[in-house]
Structure 1
Amino acid sequence: MATVGQLTRITDVANLKDLQILYLKDWPSNCVGYFWLDNYLRWMDQNPTLKHLNFYTLDNDWRSDGLFILVHRYQLFFSNLSKQKTDLEVALKQLDWSRGFKVSAIHEIHHKIYKQLALDLGLNMDREMNTIMYILNREEAERLQIQCPDGYFLDKVRLEHADLINDLWSARHPGSLKLIQMLITYNTNVGLYEKELGSLCAWCLRLQSGFLGALEVLPTHQRRGLGLVVAAAISKAIATDLQQDITALVNINNSAACRVFEKLNFRLIQDEHYYWSMIKPAAGGQISWPCDE
């Protein structure tokens, strides 16, 4: 009888960095896995005691196929370079799914594996969303000209704005306020402020998957092109400060967001879709996570 592989943790930061390098292959085909790893390597560098973060692979073998599973709080991401089912399915089945997960930025091939797994394990899937990916290369982003409208100024988003951003975030969920706070603290972000009152009226964050996210303009300031301004500003900041390409996931029905990124010369990755969904706790209800953890 064949031996079933065992889920093992990747704890050595040097190994995680080597794993990340594997995801440079066929760029940008594997950029999502690269950016997930890049985000958390940066977070661990800024906060070595970051809690509730684990990286897994099968039988300590992440080198042969780049297989890894990342769990942070209730957030789950997984990938392998071949996008083949066998080892990834074995690894995923050994996770503890009982508390539920938000499963994010999953490539459509991996998504098929995940949906079958959810069916096999009797998991309760909720709030699934289909998205498309846009990308802008670093060189183009560095050349973006940022024109801030009269009466406004650009600055970083502050922690005091986390509640507002979370309240208006279309992907908010129990536990997401802490995530927003961490994104503000650790990642590149841009806010657009009204000069007269100094109040925040538009913003964009960089999600832990590397994608631009939570792009929002307050209703009182819409139809002035402010979303385009903050999207351009954060794209240029990422390209300049991190020397990285810029990516964005957009709901396939969000034509307004598509227009923003197309105006900035983002390129649509043709015929590829990425999904996110929620797996509800086995006991029922919604995912529950302490607000301060």
Structure 2
Amino acid sequence: MSCNDDVLCELDEQEVDQLLIILEECLPNSIVIYNWILKHREWNPKIQTLNFKILSPASMKIKTGCAAVCVCQGVSDKQYGVIFATEENNDLLKQCLTETKLIPWEKFSHFTGVLESHAKIMESVLQIKGFKTSEDEISQSFLLHIPIEEALRRPAPQIPDGYYLKPVNLLHISEATDIWDDYKQTVEKMFELNLSVAAFRKADVGVKDDLVAMNVQAEYGGVSALQVAPEHQRKGFGTCVLTELTRKMAQIRIHPHAHVLRDNFKSLGLFEKCGYRVVQKSFWIFVRK
């Protein structure tokens, strides 16, 4: 553990393993940071520019539970991260976020999937540091989760004749309709390195098959980029790709989770149909002056 006189210390690999054991005991509430750490460990040897740190208060301050902050750079121009603390360590988390010099706030883009129990902490810290905390900077979602064993019991999706399922690749990025311009570098890595499932319609010989629906595992380890072409909506293709990606994640012992915007009732219904249940509210908090 390297502290350099800071309130937060960077964990070494063995300490990260110990943290993961504690986080696993806190599932599903800890699923965002748990999957985030596993995904960035997986990405680390594949992306030369990747630099991510797992930070935690000095161990002697933690009597029970845990508190942790993860930050990453090298995937895009901006940095991003996640936070988590067990309930008894919420005050300690706030203190560390306020006092640490290890987080380059001016270079930060956002914090992913901040739990409702931590959103007020982050909002307070950002106010102290002079950042905006309006509704434009705080996007509310619902955190959803399905246990691995339940996901494994779900039957394989039935795809209609003339269609087939396969992963997406970098050639399909241009067909994704809602990629943020400042998020494109991260999305490219998602398409290149992560699990994905897409539905395609077979075309005539010599004509490219149509991409009908897609679903990709995000950089934070959860289900993301669920999209169905407008002319193919309400035909079961969203259910097909979500079910299959969820099964693929569960088969390699990844805990499936997702964030769905609070007013996206269609997607909430789809996830619940596929066995997901709401854990609690979650927030995407953007760091802006």
Q: Normalising by structure 2, what TM-score? A: 0.84
Provide closer, same or farther for how the CA distance between residues 6 and 137 of structure 1 changes in structure 2, counting only shifts above 3 A: closer
Corresponding residue for residue 29 of structure 2: 29
Per the alignment, in what secondary structure is the counterpart of residue 132 of structure 1?
A: strand
Partner of 1:40: 40
- Given the alignment of the two structures, is residue 251 of structure 1 paired with residue 261 of structure 2, yes or no? yes
Note if contact 2:80-2:108 (Cα within 8 Å) is conserved in structure 1.
no
Q: 1:137 to 1:13 in 2, by over 3 A?
A: same
1:76 aligns with 2:76: no
- Structure-to-structure mapping, 1:157-168, within 5 angstroms: 157-165=168-176, 167-168=177-178
Between the aligned partners of 2:144 and 2:105, the Cα distance in structure 1 is 31
Go from structure 1 to structure 2 and tell me whether the alpha carbon gap of 1:6 and 1:47 turns closer, same or farther (over 3 Å shift).
same
Runs of at least 5 residues in structure 1 that lack an aligned partner in the other structure: 283-293
Alignment of 1:212 onto 2:219: no
Alpha-carbon deviation of 1:213? 0.9
Q: In the aligned structure 1, how far is the partner of 2:91 from the partner of 2:61?
A: 14
**Contact (CA 8 Å) 1:9, 1:60: kept in 2 or not?**
no
Residue 117 of structure 1 is aligned with which of 122, 125, 135?
Answer: 125
Tell me which residue corresponds to 1:85.
90
The answer on whether the counterparts of 1:23 and 1:81 sit within 8 Å (CA) in structure 2 is no
**AA of the residue aligned to 1:32:** V
Give the structure-1-normalised TM-score: 0.83
Post-superposition offset of 1:265:
2.2
Corresponding position: 1:13 with 2:13:
yes
Deviation per CA, 1:59-93, whole angstroms, max 9, x where unpaired? Answer: 36696543221112321211122363332123222
Q: Of the candidates 265, 269, 278, which is equivalent to residue 268 of structure 1?
A: 278
Change (3 A) 1:52 1:41: closer
Hey, what does 1:233 align to over in structure 2? 244
Q: Which residue of 2 aligns with 1:58?
A: 57
The change in CA–CA distance for 1:215 and 1:62 in structure 2 (over 3 A counts) is: farther
Decide whether the 8 Å contact of 1:19 with 1:62 is kept in 2: no
Once the two structures are superposed, residues 126-176 of structure 1 have per-residue CA deviations (whole angstroms, 9 ceiling, x without a partner) of: 4421111222222222232211122211111101122332x424xx251x1
Map 1:98-247 to 2 at 5 A: 98-125=106-133, 126-143=136-153, 144-165=155-176, 167-169=177-179, 172-174=180-182, 176-196=183-203, 197-240=208-251, 242-247=252-257
- Identity between Structure 1 and Structure 2 (%): 21
Residues 114 and 285, structure 2, Cα contact 8 Å, conserved in 1? no
Aligned residues: 269
Tell me how large the CA RMSD over aligned residues is. Answer: 2.2
1:290 corresponds to:
none
